Amino acid sequence: MTEGEGDSLKSELFSKTAFLYVSTFASAIFGYIALYFATRFIGSVNYGIVAFAISFVGIFTFVTDLGFGSAHTKKVSEGKDLQSCLSVFLLVRMFLIVIFVALVLGAMFVWEIVLGQGYEYPETHMIILIVLLYYIQISITSVFTSTFLAQRDVLRSQTITLFDVGSRAITTLVVVAFGFGLVGLACTYVAEGAISLAVALLLARKRLPRIRLAAIREPIFREYLGFAAPLALASVISPIAMYLDKVLIQYSTNAVETGIYYGSQSLLSFYLALGAIVSWMIYPAISEISIQRNGKEKILKITSSTLRYFLLLTMPIMLFLIIFSKEILSIFLSAAFEPGAIAFSILAIGYTMGLLMSPFGSQMLGMGMSKLYAKYALIAIAINIILDILLIPSNISVITLLGLGKDGAAISYLIRQIVLLSFFLISARKVIGFRAPAGIPNISAAAMAAVTLTYFLTGFMDISRFYDLVALFMLNIGFFVCFAIAFRAIKKSEIRELLRLLRIKSLLQKPGI
């Protein structure tokens, strides 16, 4: 890769990432509309029941991936035959979905019939079945979304995402308007899944007639299997850790507590999505660069610059979320969610850790280090699961535990993120010679100064409406930019460079399927 090609790649990555930020912000608005009306008008109990159903079924989603999603991104970004890659991934995913459905139905049979147990609310059985259909839909949709992202085709991938969350926002409004209640709320997810799947199929329609069953017997399948195998175990227990906390909260408390915790996570989901966005962008790029001469130097540059911009982005947001956690939950959800303020603050720190580690995860997978990645992930996830069991319930059978509920779940997640980030930093230092980017103390000082000044202003403001909070947040960001320039955490030339990269031209590169 020549210097000119490197600049072109940098321009493409930053332009497309900027577009992804904008589209994610739009998705967050749609998601918030759905969340607001669901929690305000359908009720925290019904919301908690749906949250439990999503978590119960979600535990079994491990079987729908087994590392093949990462393998697909790797092979497509390396320039393997797209038709063969899509055929293998789609056929494997359909086979795994059948196993997934069997596992969920089998678990329900064992719980309800064999063990003779029930649920806090009898409607939960039907809600689980409705949510199961939603997971089937999004598992198929993700095949095409992953393909678009592997090609860095952000326009098509984000079109699916916008239709996805936009449709749920609209259907939630319909449910509230006509008073469809619990079942209606669950069905909004099915409508969301159906619409996003239809859009994905429409965008990929030129490739679908040429899906080949014979691809499963070709060498490309063995390449997929070889890359996915080390990640399989991590893929198995990762969804368990992701959803076990809500199941344990429901088991040890009630649907209201589950809804409060899930609401906190939902508010922060757009924040976590930012990390996923950059991961999906730089993972294929690093995979492409890794096979070139002097690839490590270029990967180090991409990883370091990405982390630096992440720090600039996340520090002011994280501190704002922590300081104004009660106001955020009360205004954007309802006063019933204020007890989740501590968990919300802890999760904000944990999600920041997730953002900061995403460049390193992409670096490891892009360089083919799937075994080491899986090892680190397994250790961190195992710690998460063990801590969930120890911290969330007050007792299991005759064993007395800490009973911290939703706060324990947040603490468990934070510790997991700290452990995983530590592993990634150590690995990056050994493999690519990573060093912490300059200016971290300056960025931290600017963020703390900004949030302190913002908090001081609340003594002269009435923070009771969403626009008050939005205005306060914008002030906080404005203060941070000023302090960051004053403390030399960012240069004016960097701001101009970022603005220059916010253009449409790079979005049209790398056409998708």
Across 220-229, 355-364, 415-424, 482-491, which has the greatest mean pLDDT?
Answer: 415-424
pLDDT for the residue 404: 92
**What is the DSSP-derived secondary structure letter of residue 178?**
H
The maximal CA–CA distance of the chain, rounded, in angstroms, is: 69
Question: Would you place residue 402 in the very low, low, confident or very high pLDDT band (cuts 50, 70, 90)?
Answer: confident
pLDDT for the residue 406: 93
Say how far apart CA 310 and CA 219 lie, in whole Å. Answer: 39
Using CA atoms, how far residue 324 sits from 228, 278, 331, 341, in Å, is 42, 27, 11, 9
Q: Which of the two residues, 239 and 5, has the higher pLDDT score?
A: 239
Say how far apart CA 51 and CA 342 lie, in whole Å. Answer: 20
Say how far apart CA 371 and CA 105 lie, in whole Å. Answer: 32
Q: What is the pLDDT of residues 18-37, one digit of tens each?
A: 566 666 667 777 777 787 78
β-sheet bridge partners, residue 395:
400
Question: Would you place residue 430 in the very low, low, confident or very high pLDDT band (cuts 50, 70, 90)?
Answer: very high
β-sheet bridge partners, residue 399:
396
Say how far apart CA 64 and CA 79 lie, in whole Å. Answer: 24
* Full DSSP string of 442-502: HHHHHHHHHHHHHHHHGGGS---SHHHHHHHHHHHHHHHHHHHHHTTSS-HHHHHHHHHH-
The contacts of residue 470 (CB under 8 Å, 6+ apart) are none
- Check the CA dihedral 288-290-293-299 and report its sign: positive
Q: Is 460 within 8 Å of 510 (Cβ atoms)?
A: no
pLDDT for the residue 124: 92
Task: Please report, as a single letter, which amino acid is at residue 48.
Answer: G
- Check the CA dihedral 195-196-197-199 and report its sign: positive
- pLDDT (average), residues 212-223: 82
At 254, phi and psi to the nearest 5? -160, 180
Q: What is the pLDDT of residues 164-205, one digit of tens each?
A: 888 888 898 998 888 888 899 999 999 999 999 999 999 888
Q: Is 224 within 8 Å of 73 (Cβ atoms)?
A: no
Question: Would you place residue 277 in the very low, low, confident or very high pLDDT band (cuts 50, 70, 90)?
Answer: low
pLDDT for the residue 507: 43
pLDDT at 500 over 70: no
Say how far apart CA 460 and CA 341 lie, in whole Å. Answer: 23
pLDDT at 498 over 80: no
pLDDT for the residue 139: 95
Q: Which of the two residues, 26 and 504, has the higher pLDDT score?
A: 26
pLDDT for the residue 297: 82
pLDDT for the residue 93: 95
Q: Is 447 within 8 Å of 480 (Cβ atoms)?
A: yes
Say how far apart CA 434 and CA 197 lie, in whole Å. Answer: 40
- pLDDT (average), residues 65-93: 87
Q: Is 347 within 8 Å of 384 (Cβ atoms)?
A: no
Say how far apart CA 65 and CA 69 lie, in whole Å. Answer: 6
pLDDT at 319 over 90: yes
CA neighbours closer than 13 Å in the CB half-sphere of residue 316 = 27
Joined tokens for residue 512: 């998708």
pLDDT for the residue 309: 80
Question: Would you place residue 509 in the very low, low, confident or very high pLDDT band (cuts 50, 70, 90)?
Answer: very low
The contacts of residue 170 (CB under 8 Å, 6+ apart) are none
Say how far apart CA 94 and CA 66 lie, in whole Å. Answer: 13
pLDDT for the residue 423: 95
* Full DSSP string of 263-315: HHHHHHHHHHHHHHHHHHHHHHHHHHHHTSTTHHHHHHHHHHHHHHHHHHHHH
Nearest to 366 by CA among 288, 429, 433: 288
Q: Is 203 within 8 Å of 155 (Cβ atoms)?
A: no
Q: What is the pLDDT of residues 225-256, one digit of tens each?
A: 888 888 887 777 887 888 889 889 988 888 88
